[in-house]
């Protein structure tokens, strides 16, 4: 009888292991932009800085706020509110710059994102993350990895590779520079 008890848990172990991937907890750094709560995978976060001096760069789109000096390295700072089509972030006492480490092929690139306030690090089970909502072709949801359910509310989990895509930002910068040149030519 004792032998049956010890062999039974071993028989169920594969089912528990298979289900563990579905409920595995992942950690996310949550932050606010306006009244919305967002999250990024904690593995992408290098550090969180108090908001300080940003050097503006001429001829950049409005979502590129400028650059900061991070221990001798030049790090671009993105205003996420502008990146998402909103108004520029108003700097407040809780404003922060979250340094995200991006991996592109064999290179690492640090990018800062301006946020209104950093909230906390949350563990969210995979089973508590819904896929991005389908709004139709006119609204972009490629920035969203999922919608995490936390305390009866949704947290928008961002896909940092898409939000901070260097190729897309370079294309937008070229477009903005082209529009500025066309406006200058039209007024001359």
Domain-located, residue 99: yes
Share of the chain above pLDDT 90, in %: 27
| Tokens (6 digits) for 152 | 């009866």
Domain-located, residue 18: no
For residue 126, what is the domain's CATH number? 2.40.50.180
For the stretch 94-140, pLDDT in tens is 999 999 988 777 778 889 999 999 999 999 888 898 888 776 544 56
pLDDT band at 18 (very low <50, low <70, confident <90, very high): very low
Domain-located, residue 60: yes
Q: Measure the CA–CA gap between 45 and 110, rounded to whole angstroms.
A: 10
Q: Mean pLDDT over residues 12-37, rounded? A: 68
Reply yes or no on whether the pLDDT at 188 is more than 60.
no
Question: In what side-by-side order are the strands of the sheet with 64-70?
Answer: 45-50, 96-104, 107-115, 73-79, 64-70
> Based on the structure, what is the number of domains in the chain?
1
C-alpha torsion angle, residues 7, 11, 12, 16 (rounded to 10): 120
Domain-located, residue 16: no
Which pLDDT belongs to residue 179? 47
Give one word for 105, left, alpha or beta, with left for phi > 0 and alpha for psi -120 to 50.
left
Which pLDDT belongs to residue 169? 61
Domain-located, residue 19: no
Domain-located, residue 46: yes
Domain-located, residue 66: yes
Average pLDDT over all residues of the chain? 77
Domain range enclosing 130:
25-187
Domain-located, residue 15: no
Q: Mean pLDDT over residues 16-34, rounded? A: 71
Q: Measure the CA–CA gap between 169 and 130, rounded to whole angstroms.
A: 28
């Amino acid at each position: 009888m004792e032998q049956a008890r010890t062999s039974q848990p071993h028989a169920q172990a594969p089912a528990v292991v298979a289900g563990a991937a579905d409920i595995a907890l992942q950690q996310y750094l949550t932050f606010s932009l306006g009244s919305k709560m967002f999250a990024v995978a904690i593995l992408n976060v290098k550090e969180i800085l108090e908001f300080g001096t940003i050097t503006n760069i001429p001829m950049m789109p409005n979502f590129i706020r400028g650059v900061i000096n991070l221990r001798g390295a030049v790090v671009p700072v993105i205003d996420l509110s502008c990146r998402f089509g909103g108004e520029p972030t108003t700097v407040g006492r809780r404003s922060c710059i979250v340094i995200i480490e991006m991996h592109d092929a064999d290179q690492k690139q640090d990018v800062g994102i301006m946020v209104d306030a950093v909230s906390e690090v949350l563990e969210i089970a995979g089973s508590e993350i819904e896929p991005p909502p389908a709004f139709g072709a006119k609204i972009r949801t490629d920035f969203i990895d999922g919608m995490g359910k936390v305390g009866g509310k949704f947290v928008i989990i961002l896909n940092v590779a898409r939000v901070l895509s260097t190729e897309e930002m370079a294309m937008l910068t070229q477009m903005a520079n082209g529009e500025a040149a066309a406006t200058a030519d039209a007024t001359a």
